[in-house]
Amino acid sequence: MSKKYRIGILGATGTVGQRFIQLLENHPQFEITALAASDRSAGKPYAEACAWKLPGAMPESVKQIIVEPIAPPLDCEIVFSSLPSSVARETEEAFARAGCAVISNSSSYRMDEDVPLLIPEINADHLGLIEVQQQKRGFGKGFIVTNPNCAVVSFAPPLAALHRRFGLESVVVTTLQAISGAGYPGVPSLDITDNVIPYIAGEEPKVETEAQKILGVLTNGAIEKADFNVSAQCFRVHVIDGHTASVRVNLKQKPTLEEVIETIQSFPSLSLHSSPPRFIDFCDEPSRPQPRLDRDAGNGMTITVGRLFPDNVFDYRFVTLSHNTVRGAAGSAILNAELLIDKKIL
């Protein structure tokens, strides 16, 4: 049997931490050997520290693991971090310095110029930054890679398809983001029930900048960001899981509708363990995508695109959707780790 990598999860009791534990159960390449969270949880068996909120039972294999504080050393070689950004920066650096591969969901390092911001199907070559990072920061064998903001993941894939073939000029995006994106307990029920909230703290700047780094080109150890502007408005809506984005684009070339659909539909998937059969699923049913119906496509790893039409003001418009705690967080981080193994960086 091939080697299983030892995994530590930081923020293991939270919304994303629980999703990691669910997705890693019976994973052929990884075994959970350490769990860490705040002082509230440290010292307790996981079953006691964590109020499990996902469907199905908490996996037996983690119940008796004693939750530790978020400081190295932990018994692991890969760290999946789902910490609030307030503590992530210092903690993730400490683990990288201690020799761990740190794979982070938090926003702390995403835009640092020597840190890969990965969607494996789009920019696996950005892993070339790891060597630059290790040298610059004196990390030794440890390093940090990140996955994008959960709303950005929902629309960056169709943008990547269009940008590669036709060149993006400008993008306007309106996101409709699920409640679970705010963690647990998250948004108070009296604020979100029967309501739409036109503000998510700190979200619009992330949605306006991350795609340009993801679609950037790595040359001479640095990423030249893609040259288009994004204008974003972000809303919290009364949906439990699944972020929707309404997108309008102007393109440098002027393709036909058929060419646009074909380009989005044919964007290739990978063949890693957690890769979905289809990375982007194009749906021409007029009322889709919908969070309840489409968020679990490809085990939550597929991006669903629909409502694609020529627009009266922009060139094209479409609606896109992804599962925020799977493709938008834990599932993406696990895919990043599988990519690191595939590329022999781990």
**Residues labelled catalytic:** 150, 243
Q: Does 237 bind ligand NAP (CB under 6 A)?
A: no
| Contact region with ligand NAP (CB under 6 A), list: 10-18, 58-66, 257-265, 291-299 | 10-18
Our CB check for ligand NAP shows the closer of 66 and 261 to be 66
CA distance 39 to 123: 37
Task: Please choose, from the candidates 304, 299, 307, 317, the residue with its C-alpha nearest in 3D space to the C-alpha of residue 265.
Answer: 304
| Among positions 21, 34, 70, 122, the unique one binding ligand NAP when judged by CB under 6 A | 70
Q: Following DSSP, what letter does each residue of 272-317 receive, concatenated? A: STT--S-SEEE---TT---HHHHTTGGGGT-EEEEEEEE-SSSSEE
Site residues for ligand NAP, 303-322, by CB under 6 A, read none
| Among positions 29, 106, 244, 302, the unique one binding ligand NAP when judged by CB under 6 A | 106
Q: Does 180 bind ligand NAP (CB under 6 A)?
A: yes
Quote the crossing angle between the two packed helices 15-24 and 331-342, to the nearest 10°: 50
Q: Does 13 bind ligand NAP (CB under 6 A)?
A: yes
Site string for ligand NAP, 217-236 (x = CB under 6 A): --------------------
Residue 181 CB, shortest distance to ligand NAP, in Å, is 4
CA distance 252 to 169: 6
What is the bridge-based pairing of β-strands 222-224 and 217-219? Answer: antiparallel
* CB-CB contact of 110 with 81 (8 Å): no
Q: Does 181 bind ligand NAP (CB under 6 A)?
A: yes
Phi, psi values for residue 331, rounded to 5°: -60, -40
Q: Does 331 bind ligand NAP (CB under 6 A)?
A: no
Q: Does 52 bind ligand NAP (CB under 6 A)?
A: no
Site string for ligand NAP, 122-141 (x = CB under 6 A): --------------------
Our CB check for ligand NAP shows the closer of 8 and 11 to be 11
**Sign of dihedral through CA atoms 328, 330, 336, 338?**
negative
* CB-CB contact of 230 with 132 (8 Å): no
Cβ atoms within 10 Å of 218's Cβ, excluding its own? 16
CA distance 31 to 299: 20
| Among positions 29, 105, 244, 336, the unique one binding ligand NAP when judged by CB under 6 A | 105
Q: Does 242 bind ligand NAP (CB under 6 A)?
A: no
Nearest to ligand NAP by Cβ — which residue? Answer: 14
Residues near 305 by Cβ (< 8 Å), separated by ≥ 6? 158, 264, 280, 281, 282, 283, 289, 318, 319, 320, 321
Residue 288 CB, shortest distance to ligand NAP, in Å, is 22
- Residue ranges that bind ligand NAP, judged by CB under 6 A: 11-17, 37-38, 40-41, 70, 82-85, 87, 105-106, 150, 180-181, 183-184, 324-325, 328-329
